[in-house]
Amino acid sequence: MRPGRISKVLAAAAVVALSLAACTPTPPAPTETTAVPTAVEGGNLTVLENTAFTSFNPTSVTGNSLTNSRIASATHSGFNSVDSALNIVKNEQFGKYEKVKDDPLTIKYTINSGVQWSDGAPVTADDLFLEWAAASGYFNDATLDANFAVKSGTAYFHSAGDNSGLARTAIPVISDDRASLTLSYTSPFSDWETALGSTVSVPAHIVAVRAGLKDAESLTTLLKSMEKGDPAKPAAVNPTLRKVADFWNTGFDTKAMPDPTLALSNGPFLVNGITADKELILTRNLDYTWGAAPKLDTLTVHYENDPDKQVVALEDQTADVISPAVTAERIAALTALQDKGVALQQGQGLGFDQVVLNFKGVLADPTLRSAFLHTVPRQEIVDQVAKPLDPKAEVLNSFVFRPAQIPYKESARSNGVDTYSVPAVDATATPAPDQAKELLDGAKPTVRILYNSGDPERVKEYSLIAAAATKAGFVVTDAGKGADQWLDSLKDGAFDVALYGWTSNPTGSVQVPQVFRTGGISNLNNFSNTVVDQLTEQLALNPDMAKQNALKMQIDRLVIEAGYGLPLFQRTALSASGQHATGVAYSPLALGPWQSVAQWAYVK
């Protein structure tokens, strides 16, 4: 995974409302009451997003943005989704998928009759085939340089997602009635359930016609005729596939309302109008019957990148739903508006902060790594940084599990993180932990601490950690960089200690190898451990959840024992709704309040 580019999502418990009846001998005397606002069927709500909508294909590199993904979630559907408790929820009104066999791992997807695009064309296995082609990288034979530029060969589809799972698959098989697609993996894959078809967002029949083909079936025929790409033996560019891929890559990008065929929906809402950089209008899809029907007639999406102006808009009732960046001051401002009908949806998100040590440079010495980690005042960081945002915040004690997940407590008890439980450090009086001084044995190594100096929470984290490390004997260099520079420094390895966060995937295990495997795409601190490499390979291959959790617990322990770093705390997820909105629910997912969009309703 990468900072800011990983599939993003965490959990909260489901709440069940129980109604109890009781009888009284005599009804109480009537009392004066104020009329309670009630939700009505239909109506409009206005939502503020940080950035403008730019693409109807959120899975492409150019279309991959939070706003685009949120709009896609309201306008498209698929075989499953992830709920707020991080459970995979099947949508059998859309279709069914089943594991046909384990060896080789074979999955059959079947789309229900009646599921259709908003132009009346059915959603078929051809749409799934195109999704597979783009997400698997099957036809690409390009060799890329360190900056992901093509050195040789051809990169047809530019998909923003991780293809490590679908890259293990063979050409799919489509049924004669075009309703089913069967996918076989050449080796097992743990996250097969969400690898394909969770959301079907690109209509194959439109891509086909735009590339000069007759229809979706012709597109599938073309794809089936192609050989698997081999970077060691790149083939000549296929001009028709190049047209198909080019249109998939950028043909759905737009800042204004396009030809309606490029704005097709198979979900609860339709995009009905776009004014560039100003607003987007969603209307109810009256033909949608394969999922929860929305309660609103329309949704108006406006753009505001200033989170404080979002709060003002909610107060002024020019906006009904917002999800601003979280600060203690912003939470206080929203809380003060509760008497005006503003409701907060707040809880733990999937993002978490961490301290990570570079295994090259001064901290290549495991004794120095251990010494530094013994100085990190995690509880004080939680008290001063996390709790002002969430009074229930606690120290995070695992790199691979979140507290809402069942294995978290067991892993936290056994992974050795309690070795680094240190008392709070008072910058003026309290001495640093004795263990760190003993390990340093009089040495005074210099460490560069990298962080985003534009993030006030990271600035606080740095000051607390620097003070504690200095007391123990480290010479601390402030290597903080601005918001537009720190990530490049992280990728360049210009640090000994780095303070940054990840956003966890809501389900599955594919992100663990990305971070902890030697040379992994998100291994930014030169961590390398042969046993961890072996375990991550087993993890990627094992579809059994219990065995996945056992492997992840081993990885969690080995990573902490090696002095990789320390998890700090989970970040808070926040949205807020005004007095005319109801049904807006907390979600730890990147979708935020949009996860509950089908339940949103207008209140008079």
pLDDT in tens, 509-561: 888 999 999 998 899 999 999 999 999 999 988 888 899 999 999 999 999 99
Look at the pTM and tell me if it is higher than 0.75. yes
Instruction: Report pLDDT for 433.
Output: 63
∠ CA 194-569-408 to the nearest 5 degrees?
A: 55
- For 33, the 3-state DSSP assignment is coil
Going from the C-alpha of 252 to that of each of 55, 96, 215, 264, the distances in angstroms are: 6, 28, 18, 10
How is residue 13 annotated by DSSP?
-
Read off the tokens for 292.
């929860």
Dist CA 381 CA 355 (whole Å): 11
125 within 8 A of 179, measured Cβ to Cβ: yes
Kindly state the greatest CA–CA separation across the chain.
Answer: 88
Sheet holding 173-174, edge to edge: 95-102, 105-111, 180-184, 173-174
Residue whose tokens read 């640093």: 432
Query: Exposure string (b/e) for 107-133, b if CB count within 10 Å is 16 or more?
Result: bbbbbbeebbbbeebbbbbbbbbbbbb
Residues contacting 440, CB < 8 A, separation 6+: 368, 371, 472, 473, 474
Element (H, E) at 547: helix 545-561
Instruction: Report pLDDT for 8.
Output: 28
pLDDT for residue 7 is more than 70: no
Dist CA 545 CA 466 (whole Å): 40
| Percent of the chain at pLDDT exceeding 70 | 92
Instruction: Report pLDDT for 430.
Output: 41
Dist CA 181 CA 179 (whole Å): 7
Instruction: Report pLDDT for 121.
Output: 98
* Mean pLDDT across 433-462: 93
Instruction: Report pLDDT for 38.
Output: 75
∠ CA 48-49-55 to the nearest 5 degrees?
A: 130
Cβ atoms within 10 Å, residue 54: 20
pLDDT for residue 28 is more than 90: no
440 within 8 A of 472, measured Cβ to Cβ: yes
